């Protein structure tokens, strides 16, 4: 996001060229508004209420490390996404329990659940994937809802915050290692860190294998963060052409591209939730198969 100096500079340059229109919105203010979906701050925009300040607490000092537990906009939308997911799951479960033939929301949720089970969990993890299906389903729906919230007015994409995607990646890391240890046993799990080479090469192989354990969740973190932030960056870049060319034909063309990118982001919201879930199941499946799960998978 733009720094305060950059925003102040854009304000000054625009004011110099449009001095007679002092009431118009400055470029810096426009950039701030365009980035409100991905920018994290201690206030939230609400219809009819405007800017609402969120509770702010003094950081907790732990040695030289300061822990800020203040509530920010992205924290609020994490809670909103969790609440929406709980409501959807409960309503769909009750509808499917009352009717043997699902319809409406219940039918939609069943389609997605069956898709994750039959196309993601079982193909990559074998029948043991059913055991971890609740985690995969929670991951998919939670990321999907967070992605979609950023497309609504006054909404925000919490997945556009690297701290959020890092938290999801940490949970994925724990599940990947836990499933591998459960399938292989702690002894076999630790033995695979040697790479099966001569003990004289362990000093080289073990650090490489340990580093490899962290590269997978790191890739999950950065991929989701970059994809959910990139769309907003493209939109701002296109809208910036309006201020550069100051032409009605350019403005109309730019708005058309912006609308098209918003529809593309709707597709990306589903795609990134699927990719995160798919890659997590693949990484978990590798550990499970190394412990003998490959026989069950082949069956």
Write the DSSP string, 133-152: HHHHHHHHHHHHHHHHHTTS
pLDDT value at position 167? Answer: 95
CA distance 180 to 162: 26
Lowest mean pLDDT, pick from 46-60, 80-94, 104-118, 170-184: 46-60
Please, what sign has the CA dihedral across residues 102, 268, 51, 21? negative
At 282, is the pLDDT very low, low, confident or very high (cuts 50, 70, 90)? very high
pLDDT at 21: 46
Q: What integer is the mean pLDDT of 184-198?
A: 84
12-26, 147-161, 215-229, 231-245: range with highest mean pLDDT:
215-229
Residue 32: HSE in the Cβ half-sphere, 13 Å Cα cutoff: 15
User: Judging by DSSP bridges, how do beta strands 65-67 and 60-62 pair with one another?
Assistant: antiparallel
pLDDT for residue 109 is more than 60 = yes
Q: Indicate the domain borders of the chain.
A: 43-298
Least confident of 54-68, 175-189, 221-235, 281-295: 281-295
21-69 confidence digits (pLDDT tens): 444 455 566 566 555 555 787 788 788 877 788 888 888 888 888 888 8
| Of 240, 286, 288, nearest in space to 13 by CA | 240
Residues 6+ apart with CB under 8 A from 275: 223, 224
CA 54, 58, 61, 65 dihedral sign is: positive
pTM for this structure? 0.81
Q: Under 8 Å CB-to-CB from 155, ≥6 apart: which residues?
A: 37, 77, 149
For position 3, what pLDDT does the model report?
41
Report how far residue 67's alpha carbon sits from residue 60's, in angstroms, rounded to the nearest whole number: 5
The tokens for 173 are 């890391």
The gap from C-alpha 41 to its chain's centroid, in whole angstroms, comes to: 18
Q: Which residue has the higher pLDDT, 62 or 84?
A: 84
Query: Alpha-carbon distance 144 to 114, whole Å?
Result: 16
Alpha-carbon gap, residue 127 to 55, rounded angstroms: 46
By the 8 A CB rule, do 84 and 155 touch?
Answer: no
Q: Higher confidence at residue 167 or residue 259?
A: 167
* Tokens (6 digits) for 2: 């733009």
Q: Which string of DSSP letters, residue by residue, matches 25-53?
A: PPHHHHHHHHGGGT---SEEEETTTEEEE
> What is the C-alpha separation between 182 and 289, in angstroms, rounded?
11
Is the Cβ–Cβ distance between 73 and 43 less than 8 Å? yes
């Amino acid at each position: 996001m733009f720094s305060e100096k950059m925003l102040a500079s854009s304000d000054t340059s625009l004011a110099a060229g449009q001095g007679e229109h002092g009431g118009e919105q400055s470029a810096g203010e426009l950039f701030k508004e365009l980035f409100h979906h991905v920018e994290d701050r201690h206030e939230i925009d609400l219809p009819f209420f405007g800017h609402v300040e969120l509770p702010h607490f003094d950081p907790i000092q732990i040695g030289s490390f300061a822990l800020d537990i203040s509530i920010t906009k992205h924290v609020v939308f994490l809670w909103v996404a969790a609440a929406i997911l709980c409501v959807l799951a409960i309503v769909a479960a009750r509808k499917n329990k009352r009717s043997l033939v699902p319809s409406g929301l219940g039918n939609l949720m069943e389609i997605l659940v069956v898709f994750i089970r039959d196309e993601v969990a079982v193909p990559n993890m074998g029948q043991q994937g059913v055991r971890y299906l609740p985690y995969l389903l929670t991951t998919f729906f939670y990321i999907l809802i967070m992605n979609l919230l950023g497309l609504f007015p006054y909404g925000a994409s919490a997945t556009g915050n690297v701290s959020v995607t890092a938290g999801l990646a940490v949970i994925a890391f724990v599940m990947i290692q836990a499933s591998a240890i459960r399938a292989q046993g702690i002894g076999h799990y630790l033995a695979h860190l040697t790479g099966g080479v001569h003990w004289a090469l362990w000093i080289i192989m073990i650090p490489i294998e340990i580093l490899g354990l962290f590269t997978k969740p790191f890739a999950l973190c950065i991929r989701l963060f970059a994809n959910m932030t990139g769309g907003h960056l493209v939109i701002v870049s296109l809208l910036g052409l309006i201020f550069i060319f100051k032409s009605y034909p350019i403005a109309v063309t730019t708005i058309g591209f912006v609308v098209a990118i918003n529809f593309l982001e709707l597709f990306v919201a589903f795609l990134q939730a699927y990719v995160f879930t798919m890659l997590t199941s693949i990484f978990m499946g590798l550990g499970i198969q190394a412990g003998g799960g490959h026989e069950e998978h082949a069956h």
